[in-house]
C-alpha cells in the first residue's frame, strides 16, 4: 500500500500521521510569511516579498498542518489555483490598514470560494496588523467582506498581530483544530 496524499511516515514514532493541508493567501504585504514563521518559531523573521511559495510543517497540539504560504503580488494571484488540490483550510490574511485594497481582497475571497477544488475548505481570516494606528477592526472587515453571507463554507475571523503573535495561534490556529 502506498502513502496516501496527506499522510506521512513519522520515523520517531513509526506510524502514519495525517497532515492537514493549509494555504495561506492574501494580498502582497498582508503579513502571510510573517504569520507562517510566527507559527513555526514564535519569532518575527525578516521577510521579502514571496515569489512562488514557502512550505512548512507546523504542529499545533499534536495536529500536523502542511502550510503553504503563497506570494500575493498581483502577477502571482492567477497561479494560486495551482495550490488548491486537497486543501482543507484557507488562511486569508488581511492587512487591516489597507482600506483601499479591501475590495480586491473581497474579489479574491469569493473567487476562491467558488472554485471547485476548495468546495470543502474552511476559511480562517486574519485581520492582521492590529498594532497599527487606525487599523480596521475584525468586525469592520467582516462586514465589508460580507462574511455572514457565506453559508457553504465554515469561516472564522480573528484579529491578530503577526509581530507579537497575539491572536495568531491562540484564537486563530486553534480554530483549525
Q: Which residues are annotated as a binding site for GTP?
A: 26-33, 72, 128-131
Which of 20, 32, 53, 105 is in the footprint of ligand GTP by CB under 6 A? 32
Cross-strand bridge partners of residue 161: 166
Residue 63 touching ligand GTP (CB under 6 A): no
Told to check if 33 binds Mg ion by CB under 5 A, we report yes
Q: Locate cell 503577526: which residue? A: 162
- The verdict on 105 binding ligand GTP (CB under 6 A) reads no
Active-site residue flag, 158: no
Q: Which of residues 74-93 bind ligand GTP (CB under 6 A)?
A: 93
| 50 binding Mg ion? (CB under 5 A) | yes
**Residues whose CB falls within 8 Å of the CB of residue 46, separated by 6 or more in sequence, listed in order:** none
Backbone angles phi, psi at 108, to 5 degrees: -65, -40
Other beta carbons within 10 angstroms of residue 145's beta carbon come to 22
Binding site feature residues: 26-33, 50, 72, 128-131
The CA-CA-CA angle for residues 98, 84, 170, to 5°, reads: 55
State yes or no: residue 34 binds ligand GTP (CB under 6 A): yes
Task: For the beta carbon of residue 8, count every other beta carbon within 10 angstroms.
Answer: 15
29 binds, among ligand GTP, Mg ion, none (CB under 5 to 8 A by kind): ligand GTP
- Is 156 exposed, middle or buried (CB count within 10 Å of its CB: 0-12, 13-18, 19+)? middle
- Set of cell numbers at residue 111: 473567487
Cβ of residue 8: shortest distance to ligand GTP, in angstroms?
A: 25
> 145 near 125, Cβ under 8 Å?
yes
Q: Is 102 in the site for ligand GTP (CB under 6 A)?
A: no
Pick 45 or 59: Cβ nearer ligand GTP? 45
CB of 5 to ligand GTP, least distance (A): 26
Q: Of 82, 171, 70, nearest to 124 (Cα)?
A: 171
Catalytic member of 38, 73, 154, 158: 73
**Least Å distance between CB 168 and ligand GTP?**
9
- Kindly list the residues in this chain that would bind Mg ion in the complex (CB under 5 A): 32-33, 50
**Catalytic center residues:** 73
Amino acid at each position: 500500500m502506498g502513502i496516501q496524499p496527506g499522510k506521512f511516515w513519522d520515523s520517531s514514532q513509526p506510524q502514519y500521521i495525517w497532515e492537514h493541508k493549509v494555504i495561506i493567501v492574501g494580498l502582497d504585504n498582508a503579513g502571510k510569511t510573517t504569520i507562517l514563521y510566527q507559527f513555526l518559531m514564535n519569532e518575527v523573521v525578516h521577510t521579502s516579498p514571496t515569489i512562488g511559495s514557502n512550505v512548512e510543517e507546523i504542529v499545533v497540539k499534536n495536529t500536523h498542518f502542511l502550510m503553504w504560504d503563497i506570494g500575493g503580488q498581483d502577477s502571482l494571484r492567477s497561479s494560486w489555483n495551482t495550490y488548491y488540490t486537497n486543501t482543507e483550510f484557507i488562511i486569508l490574511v488581511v492587512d487591516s490598514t489597507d482600506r483601499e485594497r479591501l475590495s480586491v481582497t473581497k474579489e479574491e475571497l469569493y473567487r476562491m470560494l467558488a472554485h471547485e477544488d476548495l468546495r470543502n475548505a474552511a476559511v480562517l481570516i486574519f485581520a492582521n496588523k492590529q498594532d497599527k494606528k487606525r487599523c480596521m477592526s475584525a468586525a469592520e472587515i467582516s462586514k465589508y467582506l460580507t462574511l455572514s453571507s457565506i453559508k457553504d463554507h465554515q469561516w472564522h475571523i480573528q484579529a491578530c498581530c503577526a509581530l507579537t503573535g497575539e491572536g495568531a495561534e491562540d484564537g486563530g490556529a486553534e480554530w483549525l483544530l
